[in-house]
């Protein structure tokens, strides 16, 4: 990982903001900037000489993982150790990631710094940098997506009338760990029958009915990077209405993939997807946004949503995931992860999109 480039980019941002230092406390941002994967740490970006603070539990791990930052093992909490350091070098202002900080953590930091150092919220500067994935990251994301896609078969084989949603999720997650996944990227969604109309129907103890859709939305974490995909299969005889619903979502998803390329506004991709569903008469059942960035976190900027004016850029990795949810009946969602390029996008998710009938 090119930590030097990433740290340089943050230093350049700080210079623009006329800020001497930034305290990075959001763990994925810390990992992105210096490689630390543990659960307690604070990274002080300071005049090209970053210092990483962690506690005694991570002495060995920090020495093994952290790149391009001095490691300090703190007695107390890492952010407070960073505050003491900041006092020592007489900072006038310290940038913070207040969107990742509780009100009480901010107050504690403020007290520890004393009246001479001002806290300044810098917003998601690290997240903005993380939106564009470098070649190393795209390779890791590709690996995670491939592992995830290979699990679809396992899940599909587990599905049948009377089997519970959580049994299907269990098979899928067991296979994921066997294949090397570090964890699932989020609580696996297996939503069958009427529950498929709930966009976030996390696998429950409900049994799969003899007829209807089953939405499978899942992802794995591999080498720290998340995958995210959705496929919808059908149990029993497919009605004409169900077939047209599936077809509409499939066409909308394809329209989203076709529209996504560098320079196109995120909101424009969402509009294209929504318009495709509107022509098929299903737009009012599409109740969430079209997609989101994926990387070290499952949900990252950018958002592909109504009114998002920011443009897609080459190297962004986003999902395209339209769905149609008819309350009381059922729902369909299809989700791929794509890498944006100048000329279009490359679909990472290698799994069929024809309706699988069981």
User: Which residues are near Zn ion by CB under 5 A?
Assistant: 217, 228, 230, 319, 335
Residue 281 C-beta: closest distance to Zn ion, Å? 25
Describe the chain by its helix, strand, coil percentages, rounded to 5.
Answer: 40, 25, 35
Residue 59 C-beta: closest distance to Zn ion, Å? 37
Residue 235 C-beta: closest distance to Zn ion, Å? 21
* C-alpha distances in Å from residue 98, one per residue of 54, 141, 212, 303: 20, 28, 45, 20
DSSP annotation of 68 reads S
Indicate the helix (H) or strand (E) that contains 78.
helix 78-88
- d(CA 68, CA 8) in angstroms, rounded, equals 11
First CA to last CA distance, the chain: 44
DSSP β-bridge partners for residue 335: 230
Residue (13 or 319) nearer to Zn ion, CB: 319
Residue 210 C-beta: closest distance to Zn ion, Å? 26
Residue 58 C-beta: closest distance to Zn ion, Å? 31
Residue (13 or 227) nearer to Zn ion, CB: 227
Spatial CA neighbour of 298 closest among 178, 145, 156:
145
Residue (55 or 217) nearer to Zn ion, CB: 217
Residue (270 or 335) nearer to Zn ion, CB: 335
Residue 335 C-beta: closest distance to Zn ion, Å? 5
Residue (137 or 335) nearer to Zn ion, CB: 335
Dig out the tokens for 115 from the structure: 């009246």
Dig out the tokens for 314 from the structure: 């080459």
Residue (43 or 191) nearer to Zn ion, CB: 191
Residue (97 or 297) nearer to Zn ion, CB: 297
Residue (31 or 231) nearer to Zn ion, CB: 231
Q: What angle do CA 268, 273, 276 make, to 5 degrees?
A: 125
Residue 140 C-beta: closest distance to Zn ion, Å? 18
Residue 291 C-beta: closest distance to Zn ion, Å? 7
Q: What angle do CA 353, 217, 316 make, to 5 degrees?
A: 80
Spatial CA neighbour of 167 closest among 214, 234, 230:
214
Q: What angle do CA 127, 262, 141 make, to 5 degrees?
A: 55
Give the neighbor-by-neighbor strand order of the sheet with 118-121.
70-74, 51-55, 42-46, 21-24, 93-96, 118-121
């Amino acid at each position: 990982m090119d930590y030097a480039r990433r740290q340089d980019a943050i230093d350049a941002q700080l210079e623009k903001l006329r800020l001497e230092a930034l305290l990075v406390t959001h763990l994925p941002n810390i990992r992105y900037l210096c490689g630390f994967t543990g659960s307690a740490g604070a990274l002080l970006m300071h005049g090209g000489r970053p210092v990483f603070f962690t506690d005694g539990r991570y002495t060995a791990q920090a020495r093994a993982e952290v790149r391009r930052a001095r490691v300090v093992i703190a007695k107390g909490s890492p952010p407070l150790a960073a505050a003491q350091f900041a006092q020592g070098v007489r900072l006038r202002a310290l940038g913070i990631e207040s969107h990742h900080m509780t009100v009480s953590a901010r107050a504690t930091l403020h007290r520890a710094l004393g009246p001479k150092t001002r806290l300044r919220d810098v917003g998601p500067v690290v997240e903005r940098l993380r939106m564009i994935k470098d070649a190393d990251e795209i390779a890791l994301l590709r690996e995670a997506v491939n592992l995830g896609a290979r699990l679809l078969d396992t899940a599909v084989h587990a599905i049948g009338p009377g089997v519970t949603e959580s049994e299907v999720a269990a098979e899928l997650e067991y296979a994921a760990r066997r294949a090397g996944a570090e964890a699932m990227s989020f609580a696996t969604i297996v939503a069958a029958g009427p529950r498929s109309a709930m966009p976030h129907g996390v696998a429950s103890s409900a049994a799969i009915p003899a007829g209807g859709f089953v939405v499978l939305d899942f992802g794995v974490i591999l080498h720290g990077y998340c995958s995210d995909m959705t496929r919808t299969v059908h149990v029993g005889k497919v009605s004409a209405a169900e077939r047209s619903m599936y077809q509409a979502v499939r066409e909308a998803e394809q329209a989203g993939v076709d529209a996504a390329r560098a320079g196109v506004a995120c909101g424009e991709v969402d509009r294209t997807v929504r318009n495709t569903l509107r022509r098929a008469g299903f737009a009012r059942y599409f109740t969430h946004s079209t997609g989101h960035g994926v990387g070290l976190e499952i949900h990252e900027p950018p958002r592909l949503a109504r009114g998002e004016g920011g443009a897609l850029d080459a190297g962004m990795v986003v999902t395209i995931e339209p769905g149609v949810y008819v309350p009381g009946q059922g729902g369909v969602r299809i989700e791929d992860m794509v890498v944006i390029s100048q000329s279009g996008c490359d679909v990472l998710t290698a799994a069929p999109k024809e309706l699988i009938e069981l």
